[in-house]
Amino acid sequence: MTLTVVGVVIAQSLPPEDVPGWNIIKWGMTVDDARKALGDKAQTSTEEPGAAFVDIEKLVIKDLPVGDLVAECGIYTKRNSDVVTSVSLMFGKVEEPPSTRERSFDTLKRLLIEKYGQPKSEDRKAEPNSFGRGQDVSSTVLWVFPSTSITLLRHESIAYSDGYVTLTYRAADTKAKSVL
């Protein structure tokens, strides 16, 4: 009996071998499938995509609770497609203080490590911003699975005291992998 309980505890703490989507959204679902799965939480996006956008937001979930945080969730397809290929969650507002974004980033990183294990990579870089006024600082944490990449990003514009925290689940491009 003791061995069985220990085995179950160990199995529950191991990261998954694959992540085939986000939450109840699985890669390969159509937008209609995703809408049905999410029920009345999901609304059709009113975002007008730019001409150069590759990913097109099709559904949104406003005020999505993630632990003590709240996100706005976007569900995306490739241009001219109806198949879901990514889900992006944005936390907080750009005008919030940097300390709020830092806490959100740290909380999400901890939760993601608990769920998915250690990330494949972590990067922090500072670069001059595009307006020549100070630096932009970005912190990126990446998890990679056979079907999905998960990217946690925190971006701060020091000159303008604004920034954002996003968490993106993206389907792996299996067609590209087979050619490479």
3-state DSSP of 11-65: HHHCCCCCCCEECCEECCCEHHHHHHHHHHHCEECCCCCCCCCCEEEEEEEEEEE
Which pLDDT does position 7 carry in this prediction?
A: 47
Is 11 within a domain? no
Is 50 within a domain? yes
Tens-place pLDDT, residues 95-123 = 888 889 999 999 999 999 999 999 999 99
Q: Whole domain around residue 85: which residue ranges?
A: 18-173
Is 12 within a domain? no
CA distance 158 to 47: 28
Is 180 within a domain? no
Which pLDDT does position 80 carry in this prediction?
A: 93
What is the pLDDT of the chain when averaged over all its residues?
88
Residue 2 above 90 pLDDT? Answer: no
From the number of C-beta atoms within 10 Å of its C-beta (0-12, 13-18, 19+), residue 9 rates as exposed
Of 52 and 82, which is predicted with more confidence? 82
Is 129 within a domain? yes
Can you read off the two tokens belonging to residue 72? 């706005």
Number of domains forming the structure of the chain: 1
Is 24 within a domain? yes
